[in-house]
Amino acid sequence: MGALRVVVAPNAFKGTLDASRAARAIARGVIAAVPSADCRLLPIADGGDGTVEAHLALGYRELEVEVRDSSGRWHTAPIAIRDGHAVVEVASSCGLALASADDLRPLDATTLGLGDAVLAALEAGARRASLALGGSASTDGGSGLLVALGARLLDASGSALPPGGGTLSAVVALDLDDLDPRLADCEFDVLADVTSPLHGPSGAACVFAPQKGATPAEVDLLDRGLRAWADALRSATGHDAAAQPGAGAAGGVGAAAFAVLGARLTSGSAAVAEALGLDAALADADLVITGEGRLDAQTLAGKGCGHVIDLAARHAVPVFVLCGTVDLTDEELAMLGTTGVQQMGPPGPDPAAALEQAARAAVARSLATG
């Protein structure tokens, strides 16, 4: 019998470890349990933080660019580019992880930084751009993105309005005359596993704005603003994007990207997995170890490590999931279809060590039941 072939494909453990560090920690745990194991590290992403990093691991060139965060402060963020294809993130440009509790201003937060990153990609020669929409801090309908790209938001008097969810109700027209002309020569796709519409009970404000600090009254205001924004987008482009799956991604950026940039929706998990060659790697594996900070309904829907689980099932490869917390019932865990779930102990000051120990325990369980 040859060496145990293990594919290590975790998502980021948000707030503790990025996907690459998580993969290395898991691999150390596997080797501690089976010194002869052959580990293949393929850290994944699902369109949120880590999507640029995953492409850099594939040989894309990293560019550090100047962008604005959700509060308008300038900082540097990475984008990935290769052969005219650029990957930019909401998470690293104007995402929630960049904002402190004091920075959470649901009515004022914007996606200007995503537009800054797109402009930098165009300047670097991009002719195709993937917009990774996970991890946003705003519910501005993508108005900040469009303003950074040259659009103007107009009120009833024809005056320009600043972007932001709190001003969307006053937008009666969207002026696209001064959009950067290079956009016409660039193809766009949206990487997201959120399929919600722009507004309504399952839309961007009602579902996601509370996670970004919005009170119930602010959620109602934001949702009404997104309804007005849908009308402005439709009038300006002739494209009714509000009900399109993914329109509500990143606080409504999906709708703006669909209507104005002609973007196509792609599953973030599937796109990254395909770029990594994950399916082919699983075909030759004896064991798969994936993981993320929290197992919840999004995992069950195939987001992040849920997609790895689905791919492993196609190849009938045992798959263990490592996680910090489980927010699924026993019935839902059974539906997930894993060989086993191994929770980490308290991460303490060294979360990598805790993850390494969890991986070692998962491999031991796999060998015991295999």
Tell me the CATH number at 252.
3.90.1510.10
Among 237, 268, 299, which residue terminates a domain? 268
Q: How far apart are the first and last CA of the chain?
A: 14
Among 245, 268, 291, which residue terminates a domain? 268
- pTM (predicted TM-score): 0.90
Within this chain, do residues 234 and 307 fall inside the same structural domain, yes or no?
Answer: no
The number of distinct structural domains making up the chain is 2
pLDDT tens-digit profile of 234-273? 999 999 999 999 999 999 999 999 999 999 999 999 999 9
Within this chain, do residues 251 and 298 fall inside the same structural domain, yes or no?
Answer: no
Region of poorest pLDDT, from 108-112, 153-157, 273-277: 273-277
Q: Give the domain range for residue 228.
A: 51-268
Rg (CA), the chain: 21
Within this chain, do residues 10 and 139 fall inside the same structural domain, yes or no?
Answer: no
Within this chain, do residues 21 and 110 fall inside the same structural domain, yes or no?
Answer: no
Within this chain, do residues 174 and 283 fall inside the same structural domain, yes or no?
Answer: no
Within this chain, do residues 60 and 176 fall inside the same structural domain, yes or no?
Answer: yes
Within this chain, do residues 152 and 295 fall inside the same structural domain, yes or no?
Answer: no
Contacts made by residues 215-223, CB under 8 angstroms, sequence distance 24+: 215/106, 218/106, 218/107, 221/107, 221/165, 221/166, 221/169, 222/106, 222/107, 222/139, 222/165, 222/166, 222/168, 223/199
Domain with residue 348: its CATH number is 3.40.50.10350
pLDDT tens-digit profile of 191-216? 998 889 999 999 999 999 999 999 99
Contacts made by residues 16-21, CB under 8 angstroms, sequence distance 24+: 16/293, 16/324, 16/347, 16/351, 17/351, 17/352, 17/355, 18/43, 18/49, 18/50, 18/53, 19/43, 19/44, 19/45, 19/50, 19/53, 19/54, 20/50, 20/53, 20/57, 21/352
pLDDT at residue number 299: 81
Among 246, 268, 290, which residue terminates a domain? 268
pLDDT tens-digit profile of 99-128? 887 788 999 999 999 999 999 999 999 999
Instruction: Measure the CA–CA gap between 365 and 368, rounded to whole angstroms.
Output: 5
Within this chain, do residues 144 and 125 fall inside the same structural domain, yes or no?
Answer: yes
Counting beta carbons within 10 angstroms of the beta carbon of residue 243, is it exposed (0 to 12), middle (13 to 18) or buried (19 or more)? Answer: middle
Within this chain, do residues 187 and 246 fall inside the same structural domain, yes or no?
Answer: yes
Within this chain, do residues 324 and 304 fall inside the same structural domain, yes or no?
Answer: yes
pLDDT at residue number 176: 98
Q: How confident is the model at residue 347 (pLDDT cuts 50, 70, 90)?
A: low
